[in-house]
Every structure is written in C-alpha cells, then in structure tokens.
Amino acid sequence: MERMERHRFETEPYYLPVGDEVAQFEAAYAARLPTMLKGPTGCGKTRFIEHMAWRLGRPLVTVACNEDMSAGDLVGRWLLDAGGTVWQDGPLTLAARTGAICYLDEIVEARQDTVVAIHPLTDARRMLPLEKRNEVLRAHEDFQLVISWNPGYQSLMKDLKTSTRQRFVAIDFHYPPPEREAEIVAHEGGVEAEVARRLVAVGAKSRNLKGHGLEEGASTRMLVYAASLIARGIPAHQACRMALVQPLTEDEAMAAALSDLVDTFFD
C-alpha cells in the first residue's frame, strides 16, 4: 500500500551481528512469534530491528512508548474533519492491518492499561478488538509484534508484568565484544580504528562503575556520538566530555573521575 512505503528501508541499515541474533529473529518471524529484544539502552536493539525489517523486506512501524501514551494513541480513534467523523488507525492497527512489523520501543514506559491492548495480538488469535469502531481486526499474515525492554531499569513502578513477558520469545542483547564494538564505532562515527578502540576502552571502564556512582555506563550509541564529534574536528577530550561525561552524571566528583579516565586513554 502506498501509505506504507515511507515505512520501508530503501538502503540497508548498518548492523554488525555479534552472535546468533539474526538467525534467531528470522526463525521467530517465520513462525510469526511476538518477540522481545532485551538489553541495555544504546546497545543496538533499534538498529537491529531496522536491519531485520530491511532484510525481510517488511515495512517497520516504530512507536516510542511513553507514560502519556493511551490505548487510543496506539490503536486509533475517531477524528473530526470537514466531512464529519473519520476513523484514523493508530500505529499498531496500521501495522496489523497491512502486514508490517510493529516495534514498540521501551514498552515498560507505557501505562499498563495501554500495554494490555497488545495482548490479543500476542497469542494464537492474532486479533485486535477495535471497540470504538465495532470491529475485530484479524492481523495480516505478515504482521509481527516486537517490543524492546531494558531490565536494568526495572522498578516497582516500571516493570514489565509477567503476564506480558510470557507472551513473547526473547532475544538477549548486550554491548558487543570490544573488537566488534570498535568496528561499529569506527564505521558509524567515521573515525580511525585506533580512536575507536580508545573510545571503546573508555566505555568499558565506565561500565565497570555501574552501581558504584553511575546508574549506567557509556552505551555504544554514546561512543558513536563521541566519535562523530571527533571526526568533525572536536578534540577527543572535549568530545568525550560532551558525549560521555556530562550525559552520564551530574555529580562533580564522578564527572572528574570520568574525565581522568578519558585522559588515561587520550593523553
């Protein structure tokens, strides 16, 4: 359908596999199993699903979940226009109707009553009740539902219920091994291999501080940001402070410690 063309990738999104995740996802898609991508923020989950949508030749409808998102935002609603009322499909309905992959990014950020709306699409029924439209939508045979979740940020207020988790098969994501991560940073950030290796070393050291003054260490995405700044002429120390140190902490002592860490690798 013409309206879905903007959801297709004309060129291949760059993704460097670090394990069997490609084969695992291809098997899950072949069986049309709802799939959960589990892993820390910035480790490549979104790029992976973009790559897989391109690889499988399917359009991808992406939703960035947030606490203000209602079930109506996801499913659809009646709107007023010059001719009266008209129904507008939400992104989940659009994907289910047209056979796209629907990716709900950071599903744990959504309200529980919104999350429940996806349940009928995650079992053998593969259906979506559109109560306001008096319609039961049977999902297109090519439709697949994919969610991402960062268990490291779970809390009593923001956790994914067992009743939801058990409806999905899961693929675990972690930060890539150093040599692979350096290759990603060099490619995406546009820097030489040696610079990428030093950035990855900084990132690895910062991750060791998780739970010891930092909630989270530097992600692969943040390392790419630093590399991108370096590639555009920003000195490495400044680039790392902009992309790694300042976003990670507001604590002056911890910021100083991270800056010293940067100095170790970029003297």
211-257 confidence digits (pLDDT tens): 888 988 999 999 999 999 999 999 999 999 999 999 999 999 999 99
Report the pLDDT value the prediction gives residue 7, as an integer from 0 to 100. Answer: 87
> Could you tell me the residue range of the domain that residue 56 belongs to?
2-172
The domain boundary, picked from 172, 197, 217, lies at: 172
187 plus 125 within the same structural domain:
no
Nearest to 258 by CA among 224, 216, 229: 216
User: Which residue would you say has higher pLDDT here, 80 or 24?
Assistant: 24
84 plus 64 within the same structural domain:
yes
129 plus 42 within the same structural domain:
yes
Name, in order, each residue with C-beta under 8 angstroms of 237's C-beta and a sequence gap of 6 or more. 259, 262, 263, 266
Report the pLDDT value the prediction gives residue 159, as an integer from 0 to 100. Answer: 77
The domain boundary, picked from 150, 172, 194, lies at: 172
Q: What is the pLDDT of residues 5-58, one digit of tens each?
A: 788 999 999 999 999 999 999 999 999 999 999 999 999 999 999 999 999 999
Please tell me the pTM assigned to this model. Answer: 0.92
Report the pLDDT value the prediction gives residue 156, as an integer from 0 to 100. Answer: 44
CATH number reported for the structural domain that contains residue 72 in this entry:
3.40.50.300
CB 86 within 8 A of CB 98: no
Average pLDDT over residues 75-98: 92
53 plus 94 within the same structural domain:
yes
Report the pLDDT value the prediction gives residue 5, as an integer from 0 to 100. Answer: 76
Asked if the model's pLDDT at residue 112 lies above 60, the reply is yes
What percent of the chain stands above pLDDT 70? Answer: 97
User: Which residue would you say has higher pLDDT here, 210 or 243?
Assistant: 243
79 plus 199 within the same structural domain:
no
40 plus 168 within the same structural domain:
yes
Distance set, CA 23 to CA 52, 55, 85, 162, 171 (Å): 10, 11, 45, 26, 11
* Helix (H) and strand (E) counts in the chain: 12, 9
Q: What is the pLDDT of residues 154-205, one digit of tens each?
A: 554 567 889 999 999 999 999 999 999 999 999 999 999 999 999 999 999 9
57 plus 160 within the same structural domain:
yes
Q: What are phi and psi of 35, to 5 degrees?
A: -130, 135
Distance (Å, rounded) from C-alpha 182 to C-alpha 266?
Answer: 16
21 plus 122 within the same structural domain:
yes
126 plus 238 within the same structural domain:
no
* Number of structural domains in the chain: 2
84 plus 148 within the same structural domain:
yes
Report the pLDDT value the prediction gives residue 153, as an integer from 0 to 100. Answer: 62
The domain boundary, picked from 116, 150, 172, lies at: 172
Distance set, CA 217 to CA 24, 148, 180, 203, 209 (Å): 27, 19, 18, 7, 7
239 plus 189 within the same structural domain:
yes
Distance (Å, rounded) from C-alpha 71 to C-alpha 94?
Answer: 14
Average pLDDT over residues 143-151: 94
Asked if the model's pLDDT at residue 207 lies above 70, the reply is yes
Burial class (CB in 10 A: 0-12, 13-18, 19+), 201: middle
126 plus 93 within the same structural domain:
yes
